[in-house]
């Protein structure tokens, strides 16, 4: 099945993430609903670091979805934009921060950067 969102966020390493923009900072809250209960995670982004805590405290961006949708995002089986276009999640607040989730959640398992594919095809490593 893959990684659940709880496993993904509970083992999150708050170290520096060079793939995050240096100038972007803010707070995001993920609300995962399941069986009449909602689990909240708060992500604080600052200085290319993401701190994760379980908190229902207000945030600049709130993303709500069924837990299953977040599980698919955390395992790379669903892309954030696809979930948004399918109306699988709802978003309120600073949309600029939504694009950070693309960089926080993993990509599709087995996906490779196009440059890597070309290097391998041409025999370069």
pLDDT of 7 over the 80 cut: yes
Q: Which pLDDT score is estimated for 115? A: 78
Q: Domain-by-domain residue ranges, the chain? A: 5-121
Q: Which of 60, 97, 94 is nearest to 80 (CA)?
A: 97
Q: How far apart are CA 54 and CA 101, in angstroms?
A: 17
Q: Which pLDDT score is estimated for 111? A: 62
What tens digit of pLDDT does each residue of 62-105 get?
999 999 999 999 999 999 999 999 999 999 999 999 988 888 88
Q: How far apart are CA 20 and CA 31, in angstroms?
A: 22
What tens digit of pLDDT does each residue of 13-57 get?
888 888 888 998 999 999 999 999 999 999 999 999 999 999 999
Q: Which pLDDT score is estimated for 72? A: 94
User: Does residue 30 contact residue 40 with C-beta atoms inside 8 Å?
Assistant: yes
What is the pTM for the complete model shown? 0.83
**CATH fold of 5-121, please?**
Nonspecific Lipid-transfer Protein; Chain A (3.30.1050)
Using pLDDT thresholds of 50, 70 and 90, give the confidence band for residue 125: low
């Amino acid at each position: 099945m893959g990684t659940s969102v709880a496993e993904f966020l509970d083992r999150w390493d708050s170290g520096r993430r060079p793939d995050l923009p240096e100038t972007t900072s803010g707070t995001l809250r993920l609300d995962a609903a399941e069986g009449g209960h909602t689990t909240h995670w708060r992500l604080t982004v600052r200085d290319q670091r993401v701190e994760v805590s379980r908190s229902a405290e207000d945030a600049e961006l709130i993303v709500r979805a069924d837990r299953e949708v977040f599980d698919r995002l955390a395992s790379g089986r669903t892309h954030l934009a696809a979930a948004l276009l399918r109306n699988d999640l709802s978003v309120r607040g600073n949309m600029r921060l939504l694009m950070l989730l693309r960089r926080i959640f993993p990509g599709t398992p087995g996906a490779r950067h196009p440059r890597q594919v070309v290097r391998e095809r041409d025999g370069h490593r």
